[in-house]
Structure 1
């Protein structure tokens, strides 16, 4: 989980390339900051240069996209900052895949070049933007209420894809405290308190009254302050609602143990509450159909199923152990005993194979056991004379396209292709034949 320190992030957006502040940098913020509700506007392309963007694909692997970094005269798309993710949108219908801050500029990554000097239409993905506005303003409100009611200080926060987390500087937060914070926050939403954004001069006495953890040493220009009427004033660069009524509702989902003796408060606000309820109801409906009981009985029904599963698992394990002992004796007493002895069983595990190996002992016979899908993946075990097993174990693993390890006459591991068991068996038989010929 990526946690962003709770600090005033507005100042770095005012810096020039060498630390000096230009007139534009000291006098204005981006359009998205000046009017968070604006959905489209016209501006001019300043520059466009080749660039690459590292992303994470649907399979979780890192991917590198080739494209361009576009700088606009002004932007409607918010660059990541203050714990708030960046916006998505379009420039002349060209998709913007990432927006990042570089000094006082915003870089827009696109896969289509845009000509400098061209007038362009910028549109924001309003659903994503408004969701971020709701969550960010809700965080300000919860942070202020938690501090006012219980002296709980916010040290960091995360605006996640499904839920948000506020890290509180306390080893614990009781359920009663969380409920009181939620109730107070929702009362303020129902009071329709206005939220306004101002820019203060650094030497304005009011700055001392604004919540924050201090300005960066190289700060230049005005200080952006977000104020919830009669509740909170905080330095912030993010986009926010103009009235708490736009938050609709806040739901605190619970708490988790945080890092360094802190507590994470988990919440959702606005449209996320509705989506959370929709998902929860869908899950409840599915469980009702599967468990054949009402929602109020789901927990007890699942507990009974878990107990039954544990009992069945225990009985199955005992039967598997008995079967392993019986199988070992059958193999040991077989007229075909000696040389290379193999056995495959679809149902089984490492313990099953080890019981067989323990019952039989190594002696001069190579015992090759496998369990799992005959045409797919599974487990294998090779037991026998220590010198032979040490030599053959890694080679068997290679044939089965797996990995393993071993010592003292036993080598075992995972195989991705049990379909190659016959090749592994042939390898073992060739080795035994060669040893016999040498003797």
Structure 2
């Protein structure tokens, strides 16, 4: 069957009947990208205005009886709605669509059909797959390269069709209908049943598709082809945006430009040059910093060696005010260890936050380091490895250095080095 969302993609509210409601558990992806298992209920309705994922298009969001719908999937001829609370079987219930999400998907999906049709008819590039992403969409074309002039020509052609306000219509055909043979298709799902849904861009394209679409190309407003990139197996990925996404992208880009103008104290046209100057300055500062770290490491080691009252344990922490050590900090610790020597001295060196993340190095006689290295990592709740009298690693608990120092003091007093 064709759902209400497929018969009329512009319907935003709909009343239907609950057919079944059963408990289940679903793995949902959060905004952070992490997946989380959530307990809830699978609800099947007599009909639905919420589109289940399919045809390269993500599923809709909305509410079912005022309860948020967290996922919609297709199972054979049925749409399965995942919600957090149960609903009464046999009851009438209202569905509401998250219209901003739905209309965005309609614009991107119809935009894909339009680009695909013209890329084929104009250049002979056929679409092998596509993805409707959160920020932009990608069409995979069966060509190793699309020339810059072709991208510009394709973009002009699709926007000409949008300005011409070409209608898009939907029809349902059965598989044995001769007209089906004239329709563009990448195949039907194995569990497909019922009539076949055809999306027609008048005079341009007929395509089997289950997704939601605009009724007129003018509703796309505009298409921007952002560029191309190398795809898999001698194919090319064409990246585009359609409709409201472009408006949001322009607004976001403008606000970013204003922020960069304030930060860089330069005009928009000079942003790249200003950033390049900053990068060169940072490279120079990093080089100077590394040289200073090396000199400081040598002086620290010489100062310890010249102390007539020095013992056989040397501990040093270089505190940083930021979370991640620089490239030169491991070298800083290794220079100290090399200059002091480890034949008759145990060294415990750390670089990082006072109580947070950082690097550590345990150096000394091989037998001592082999025995104490894993214990030091354990005390710091970190990870490390070592050989030949060096054990080094990372930790997120620099605040536990005192426990390590106490352990090393005990061994330095009791062992003959």
Q: Is the 8 A contact 2:5 2:50 kept in 1?
A: yes
- SS at 1:266 equivalent: strand
Which of 18, 34, 41 is the aligned partner of 2:14? 41
1:118 paired to 2:118 = no
Matching residue of 2:366 = 386
Change (3 A) 1:215 1:104: closer
Which of 117, 120, 127 is the aligned partner of 1:144? 117
Please give the alpha-carbon distance, in whole angstroms, between the structure 1 residues aligned to 2:186 and 2:396.
54
Matching residue of 1:232 = 205
Please give the alpha-carbon distance, in whole angstroms, between the structure 1 residues aligned to 2:309 and 2:165.
86
TM-fit CA distance, 1:167: 1.4
Matching residue of 2:101 = 128
1:292 paired to 2:272 = no
How do 1:202-351 residues align onto structure 2 when only pairs under 5 Å count? 202-215=175-188, 220-347=193-320, 349-351=329-331
Change (3 A) 1:270 1:59: closer
Which of 350, 356, 366 is the aligned partner of 1:376? 356
**CA-atom RMSD in angstroms:** 1.6
Matching residue of 1:16 = none
Matching residue of 1:432 = 412
Please give the alpha-carbon distance, in whole angstroms, between the structure 2 residues aligned to 1:273 and 1:279.
10
Q: Is the 8 A contact 1:97 1:110 kept in 2?
A: yes
1:422 paired to 2:395 = no
Which of 12, 37, 44 is the aligned partner of 1:64? 37
Aligned residues: 410
Q: Deviations over 1:346-390 (max 9, x none)?
A: 256111111111222211210111111122221110111111001
Which of 333, 338, 341 is the aligned partner of 1:358? 338
Q: Is the 8 A contact 1:339 1:429 kept in 2?
A: no
1:103 paired to 2:67 = no
Please give the alpha-carbon distance, in whole angstroms, between the structure 2 residues aligned to 1:227 and 1:39.
22
- SS at 1:343 equivalent: strand
- SS at 1:97 equivalent: strand
Change (3 A) 1:325 1:92: same
Moved segments of 4+, more than 3 Å: 57-61, 214-221
Give TM-score scaled by structure 2 length. Answer: 0.94
Matching residue of 1:53 = 26
TM-fit CA distance, 1:303: 0.9
Give TM-score scaled by structure 1 length. Answer: 0.90
Matching residue of 1:181 = 154
Please give the alpha-carbon distance, in whole angstroms, between the structure 2 residues aligned to 1:156 and 1:268.
16
- SS at 1:177 equivalent: helix
TM-fit CA distance, 1:250: 0.5
Q: Which runs of 5 or more residues in structure 1 are unaligned?
A: 1-27
Change (3 A) 1:209 1:86: same
Q: Report which structure shows greater RCO (CA 8 Å, sep ≥6).
A: 1
- SS at 1:197 equivalent: strand
How do 1:152-171 residues align onto structure 2 when only pairs under 5 Å count? 152-171=125-144
